[in-house]
Every structure is written in C-alpha cells, then in structure tokens.
Amino acid sequence: MLIISIILFLIAAGFGLVVLTSILQNKPTPKCFVYTHGGVAAIALLMVIYYVFEHPDHAPIASLVLFLIAAAGGFTLFFIDFKGKKIPKWLALVHPVIAVCGVLALAVFILGQV
C-alpha cells in the first residue's frame, strides 16, 4: 500500500512540475494539470493516513506530517490561483520541497521494514 502511495505521489509530482513551470514563467496554470495533481496527491495521502490508522504502533508519522504540511500549502496555492491572484513563487517552490521530503521519509520508512 505504501509503495503504491509513493508511485501516486511521483505521478502527482509530474503533474505538479508542469504547474510549477507555468507559475515560474508567469503563465496561467493549466487547470487540468492542477486538478489531476491535487486529486492524485489526495488519494496517495489518504492511503498513507489509512496505513497510519491501521498500524498505529508502527507508522510513518514523519512522512505523514510532511505530507499534511505540503497539502496545506497545496490548498493555499489552489485557492490563491482560484481567486485569480498571483501565486507567490516562494510558496510554489516550498510546497514541492516539503512534499519531496515526505516521499523520501516514506521511502526510508519502507526500506527500514525490509
């Protein structure tokens, strides 16, 4: 389950990279990519949350916290974009850095179980 969530996070990252490129080039964000990025990342996050609730004694808490922080940043970015305001580039860059740290923490957790 956690490996599938990593795969989904990586797919979401691909869509997010397209969105980030648009933001950094001061172009409108491609809404199809925005919605797909958020949807796929949300499914992956729900899988991690489910795993944490099913394994409370041995769970990837660090990665969950990082993913929740990244999700909060993602919601913030989404609503700024939805209102038609300019997205701060620093926030658009911090969001994926935190998410990547979450993926790395989850990978370390999985490898520690092998």
CATH of the domain at 7: 1.20.120
d(CA 47, CA 57) in angstroms, rounded, equals 17
pLDDT tens-digit map of 74-95 = 999 999 999 999 999 999 999 9
Average pLDDT over residues 9-26: 98
pLDDT tens-digit map of 60-74 = 999 999 999 999 999
User: Which amino acid is located at 27 in the chain?
Assistant: K
pLDDT at 28: 97
pTM value? 0.94
Q: Which domain holds residue 106?
A: 2-113
pLDDT band of residue 2 (cuts 50, 70, 90) is very high
In the chain, the number of structural domains is 1
* CA distances for 60 relative to 39, 71, 94, angstroms: 22, 16, 22
